[in-house]
Amino acid sequence: MLHAVIPAGGSGTRLWPLSRADHPKFLLPLTGTAQSLLQATVQRLAGLVPLERTFIVTGQPHVAAVAAQLPALPAENILAEPGPRDSCPAIGLAAAVIARRDPDAIMGSFAADHLVGDAGRFTATIRAAVAGAEQGWLMTVGMKPTRPEVGFGYVQCGDLVGDGPIRRVRRFKEKPSYAAAVELVDSGEYLWNASMFAWRVDVFLGELARQQPALHAGLVRIAAAWDTADRAAVLTDVWPTLPRIAVDYAVMEDAAAQGRVATVPGDFGWSDVGDFRNLSDLLPADRDGNVVLTGDAPARLAPVNGTGPDTVLVRDSHGSVVIASGGRLVSTLGLKDIIVVDTPDALLVCARDRAQDVKQIVDAVRRQGGPS
Amino acid sequence: MLHAVIPAGGSGTRLWPLSRADHPKFLLPLTGTAQSLLQATVQRLAGLVPLERTFIVTGQPHVAAVAAQLPALPAENILAEPGPRDSCPAIGLAAAVIARRDPDAIMGSFAADHLVGDAGRFTATIRAAVAGAEQGWLMTVGMKPTRPEVGFGYVQCGDLVGDGPIRRVRRFKEKPSYAAAVELVDSGEYLWNASMFAWRVDVFLGELARQQPALHAGLVRIAAAWDTADRAAVLTDVWPTLPRIAVDYAVMEDAAAQGRVATVPGDFGWSDVGDFRNLSDLLPADRDGNVVLTGDAPARLAPVNGTGPDTVLVRDSHGSVVIASGGRLVSTLGLKDIIVVDTPDALLVCARDRAQDVKQIVDAVRRQGGPS
């Protein structure tokens, strides 16, 4: 039986000032509708997995917000991390908890803050990945690259498994330089690593035990206490001792070297919504190529087509992103390729081609104790 | 005896959202110090005229703010207009009131919202203008043009009067096209009309009586009641009947044709602070050419040299204007020639070369009843 795990961590630094440590990207309605990225992720999985088998792994500070956004999700399906320890402890915790309940479970892992354009093709791809997982593969969903992106890792495909569409994965490749990314894409052998996985929980936990025995032991100990009165004590005791490590490095790289990883190429309009430039490629634009979102707070944004209502006046502007969530009038005149993001306590005005560098601003804001 | 008159009208539309109908440009500290433009104007005149002979003509809604900014000014020297009727009624009212007290007075008129770079040269120029006024000329101070500006009117100079520096004015020329402005500047005969005047009040009122008899009669009637219990009743009765007209058209153009106008060329770093681009030419810039002002409200702005304190983060930006008066963090990244003006209830982001078109935004804001 398929279980869906949604690790909801990371603040989405490059979407500051919309995203904040206390109101991260996955809670924001950056989907082109009133839904948050998290809500859209859960809805996208609804055809594959019922809510009873859908799990969110998130930081303790976000449990209440997640529960509020997903009122139909059983409360016990929100797994609260006492502190951030990267993706392998988060995903491994879910795997260990699910394995206690259903040792034969298949588990898919899906980021909470990505967007998918074609839900039907997404579902078909995940079904193929689940079929591969049932055969014992550690499955990843690889995205057909549409540009030489330096912000993602890549997976190198090998031979087809049977008649396909599953292919063996020869290796994982970390974020490349631009020149290397051009080569990877031109080769036709590489797919983007979208951090979407499917596997049998026993297969994954076996690999974890082989490669990360201390992490595995800690997670098994926590899982054993999960449904008991000791959960909080064991978590407090064990969680801080777990290594901070991403699942790609902890498990997938060497598993690929051992011939245990396979992939399904996906082509369903996927985006990690990494920065404002990226966001503007996903949301509907007016005839001048401007993407305009408005709302009285970052949590209540909605797209505007055209020059918008009272809160936004966009004049003679092109290729720009205007996000008005500060409760005040935002006006632009004569802009070209500029990002304007207004919130109640912070404003960002940024060249579109510098959107990936917003982290520099956030770092400076943090250093001075500002709103981040 | 010289009297200074400072008509303080006009909202400074192109400096929106800093300037507002209820908080106009002359009240704003856009001087490079904590002083407002009005305060700087009064201080600049202090070496020429004592406060007892300095008069501010302003709209009734601004009387309290003017008094608060100029606590040493006698309250009776603030002449309140019941409503805006352009510059000739404002200046004429002051002339008529002053003439009742001192029929031989010389009066200088100085805009409340202009900047002067060199106060010493300004004072010398005004002394020369006053000397011309004593001889019976309607004096104007003409600025040596530094560019073919289409936003100003021009005066055409004629022969020297005596040994100079006073020159006869042959004619007033309204705001020209760009091509015409180039010709005017190249000719060497034209000066910018900076709306700075000096004259004997009797000479001015004589010209007003000749050219605008109804306006003259109305102002004389108001002045006669000014120091009586009837002031309010007469103002209410007469003021709304006065023609709306600028002093240039009402008096100066035909007076020049009659050979009664002369000018002193001025060269003291004058600016009308017309728009944000213009403002940025006047205030100190950081090494990347950015002008940064910050304060917790538009009324409390001060310049920042460099990247500024906590409320402003300017990164990799050039030739930009960043005004943070919204009480929130303002951050910019990778901007070139962009104007960012944040206030508590409205934000403007504008290309620097479109600064003169901000009025279009204000018009749209007014149409929808927004903050203007």
pLDDT in tens, A263-313: 999 999 999 999 999 888 888 899 999 999 998 888 888 877 545 556 899
**Confidence grade of residue B11 (pLDDT, cut at 50, 70, 90):** confident
Of B195, B197, B189, nearest to B171 by C-alpha is B189
Exposed, middle or buried by CB within 10 Å (0-12, 13-18, 19+), for B187?
A: exposed
pLDDT at B301 over 90: no
For an interface test with A, give the residue of B333, B342, B348 to mutate (most A CBs within 10 A).
B333
Confirm or reject contact between B336 and chain A (CB < 8 A): yes
Confirm or reject contact between A292 and chain B (CB < 8 A): no
First to last CA, chain A: 40
> Among A333, A338, A351, whose Cβ lies nearest the Cβ of B354?
A333
Judging contacts by C-beta atoms under 8 Å, the chain A residues touching residue B337 are none
Counted across chains A and B, CB pairs separated by less than 8 A come out at 123
**What is the residue type of B286?**
D
Instruction: Give the total residue count for chain A.
Output: 372
What pLDDT is stored for residue B303 in this prediction? 77
What pLDDT is stored for residue B298 in this prediction? 86
Of B197, B182, B172, nearest to B264 by C-alpha is B197
Q: How far is A308 from chain B (nearest CA, A)?
A: 12
d(CA A88, CA A99): 16
With residue A23 as reference, give the H or E element that holds it.
Answer: none
Q: How far is B305 from chain A (nearest CA, A)?
A: 18
**Confidence grade of residue B305 (pLDDT, cut at 50, 70, 90):** low
Mean of the per-residue pLDDT values of chain A: 94
Search chain B and give the residue with CA nearest A324: B347
Judge whether B40 and B270 are in contact, CB under 8 Å. Answer: no
Of A66, A145, A191, A357, nearest to B331 by C-alpha is A357
Quote the pTM value. Answer: 0.90
d(CA A269, CA A118): 6
pLDDT at B307 over 80: no
Of B281, B259, B257, B261, nearest to B269 by C-alpha is B281
What pLDDT is stored for residue B325 in this prediction? 93
Strand order, beta sheet including B338-342: A312-315, A329-333, B346-351, B338-342, B321-324, B291-294, B302-304
User: Does the distance separating the beta carbons of B361 and A349 come in below 8 Å?
Assistant: no
Search chain A and give the residue with CA nearest B323: A347
pLDDT at B94 over 90: yes
d(CA B92, CA B246): 10
For an interface test with B, give the residue of A337, A347, A348 to mutate (most B CBs within 10 A).
A347
**Confidence grade of residue A230 (pLDDT, cut at 50, 70, 90):** very high
Torsion sign over Cα A237, A243, A244, A246:
negative
Confirm or reject contact between B351 and chain A (CB < 8 A): yes
- Considering chain B, what percentage of its residues have pLDDT values greater than 90? 86
d(CA B51, CA B42): 8
d(CA B339, CA A214): 55
**Confidence grade of residue A227 (pLDDT, cut at 50, 70, 90):** very high
Search chain B and give the residue with CA nearest A359: B333
What pLDDT is stored for residue B237 in this prediction? 96
- Considering chain B, what percentage of its residues have pLDDT values greater than 70? 98
User: Does the distance separating the beta carbons of B331 and A346 come in below 8 Å?
Assistant: yes
* Tokens at B236, concatenated: 């209410």
* Tokens at A91, concatenated: 């995903």
Strand partners, B318: B336
Centre a 10 Å sphere on the Cβ of residue B297 and count the other Cβ atoms it contains. Answer: 12
> Among B326, B357, B365, whose Cβ lies nearest the Cβ of A313?
B365
**Confidence grade of residue B310 (pLDDT, cut at 50, 70, 90):** low
